Amino acid sequence: MTNTREPRLLKTPWTASAATVVAAFGAYFCMYAFRKPFTVATYSEVEGIAGVKFKVALVIIQVFGYMVSKFIGIRYIAEVQPHQRVRSLLIQVGLAELALLLFAVTPAPFNAIWLFFNGLMLGMIFGLIMGFLEGRRNTEALLAALCTSFILADGVVKSVGAWLLNLNVPEFWMPFTTGLLFALPLLFCCMILNRAPLPDVGDVEARGERVPMNAEARRSFLQKYGLGLALIVLVYLLVTIARSVRADFAPEIWAGLGVTPDPSLFTYSETVVALIILVLNGSMIFIANNRIAFFTALGLATLGLGITAAIVEGLSAGLVSPFAFMVLLGLGLYLPYIAVHTTIFERFIAMTRDRGTIGHMMYLADAFGYLGYVVVLLVRELSPNITSQSILPFFKILCLVVAGAGSALMIPAVIYFRRIRGATDAASDAVHGGGAAVAENRASQ
């Protein structure tokens, strides 16, 4: 259905794309202010829970809620209608902020439970926003910009949280206060997203039409491509674990490197990573052939895993500084992580022309990725010989395991997807001519 509420700002394709991506970037950036600021605090004076340090318990509890949300989102994001996205987003962020308020007023350690509900509410925000950007000829650039929001926001909201702590805002009130600072910008961005135009005729011809998937469509899609997608999901799971440790325990990792970071360092390091990732992944829009773009993205992911291994070895050999280590490691981990978000799933749907959405596949990957992260955190905290050390040695070993296992999994993945070439080419040719008709019919409704 045509969006009849589009303001004049969104009337031309260029202004529509620019306004939509800025709003998507801003909305997800602001969401991070409701999710991540608590990780910059130490909560060192609070007694642990069941032998687990209080801050680590908070991370595990929130991630567990986030993981549950991802499993729910496998169905919800696949089926949600476009007109429901913004309303759902605002309701869920509002409930997440309420959970932070309850976290502030409930005595510790009982307040930890509210971070479960905070994570539960925020886990579907990315899929809701992604729905506005997929299925377009410039989707990689749009999604790369969206993904840089959580790389950059991770550092910025930590800086804001640290700034509030320096202003003597109590540790338990700091997350709620940070969220309040970003509430109005979030609302403004959502107002623009609510008026974003649908993909046009050329988009449908180039990338296929994206429609909600019912249970039968989801089951059929996985039966056809489940093995290959499982290999990609396993790589994504590994990278999610290492990326999440780097994000959630950045202050502790910096301390292990011998650096006491001031608030601006979080923003500066993540800004450098975000800009490089934006250029590398966003440039995929210049590859018109969906198959070439798909395999190029797999190559970028493998390159990132190689960078991860090399930079860890470089630190051990004394060849890189702490800042270079954090930036280059961020680059290595985010290359495969963002390639899955921006290109691998997007171009896979485009080249097969099967009924599917990025949101459905991303939530499959995210659900298992965060499940793996919860398991790793629990194993580490329940192993006395590991927890007695600083987090840096554990993190370095983890990154090497992720790089090695991920690279090994990419080999059968490439072989699998090359074997389905004939079928996907035929599917693409069969429907390519029909894309315009589909879009024209939808636009006329």
Tens digits of residue pLDDT in 355-369 = 777 888 889 899 999
pLDDT mean over 6-24? 70
- pLDDT-derived band of residue 400, with 50, 70 and 90 as boundaries? very high
- pLDDT-derived band of residue 421, with 50, 70 and 90 as boundaries? low
* pLDDT greater at residue 268 or residue 17: 268
How many domains are there within the chain? 1
351 found inside a domain:
yes
* pLDDT > 90: percent of the chain: 48
Distance between CA atoms of 361 and 77, rounded to whole angstroms? 10
- pLDDT-derived band of residue 13, with 50, 70 and 90 as boundaries? low
Cis peptide before 37, with omega less than 30 degrees from 0? Answer: no
- Helix/strand/coil for 182: coil
* pLDDT greater at residue 270 or residue 61: 61
CA distances from 307 to 237, 253, 256, 355 (A): 18, 19, 21, 35
12 found inside a domain:
no
Q: Is 268 exposed, middle or buried (0-12, 13-18, 19+ CB in 10 A)?
A: middle
Residue 52's φ and ψ, nearest 5 degrees, are: -105, 135
- Per the CB < 8 A criterion, the answer to whether 24 and 132 are in contact is yes
Residue 95 confidence (pLDDT) above 60: yes
- pLDDT-derived band of residue 217, with 50, 70 and 90 as boundaries? confident
pLDDT mean over 119-124? 95
81 found inside a domain:
yes
| Residues whose CB falls within 8 Å of the CB of residue 154, separated by 6 or more in sequence, listed in order | 32, 36, 247, 266, 270
151 found inside a domain:
yes
CA of residue 442 relative to chain centroid, distance: 30
pLDDT at 192: 92
Distance between CA atoms of 248 and 87, rounded to whole angstroms? 29
* pLDDT greater at residue 127 or residue 102: 102
388 found inside a domain:
yes
Q: CA end-to-end span of the chain, whole Å?
A: 6
Q: Which of 176, 150, 272, 191 is nearest to 6 (CA)?
A: 191
Cβ count within 10 A of residue 166? 10
Residue 52 has what DSSP assignment? B
Residue 106 has what DSSP assignment? S
Residue 34's φ and ψ, nearest 5 degrees, are: -95, -5
pLDDT mean over 42-63? 87
CATH, residue 104: 1.20.1250.20
- pLDDT-derived band of residue 388, with 50, 70 and 90 as boundaries? low
Residue 438 confidence (pLDDT) above 70: no
Residue 273's domain spans which residues?
Answer: 19-39+50-201+215-432
Distance between CA atoms of 378 and 313, rounded to whole angstroms? 26
The model's pTM: 0.76
pLDDT at 386: 63
pLDDT mean over 67-76? 91
E strand or H helix at 430:
helix 421-432
E strand or H helix at 423:
helix 421-432
- Helix/strand/coil for 147: helix
Distance between CA atoms of 319 and 266, rounded to whole angstroms? 22
Tens digits of residue pLDDT in 135-189 = 888 888 888 888 888 778 888 898 899 999 999 999 999 999 999 999 999 999 9
* pLDDT greater at residue 436 or residue 413: 413
Q: DSSP states of 347-415 as a string?
A: HHHHHH--S--HHHHHHHHHHHHHHHHHHHHHHHHT-HHHHTS-HHHHHHHHHHHHHHHHHHHHHHHHH
44 found inside a domain:
no
Cα dihedral 247, 253, 257, 262 in deg (nearest 10): 70
* Residue whose structure tokens are 């926003």: 129
pLDDT at 387: 60
220 found inside a domain:
yes
Q: Of the segments 10-14, 377-381, 428-432, which one has the largest average pLDDT value?
A: 377-381
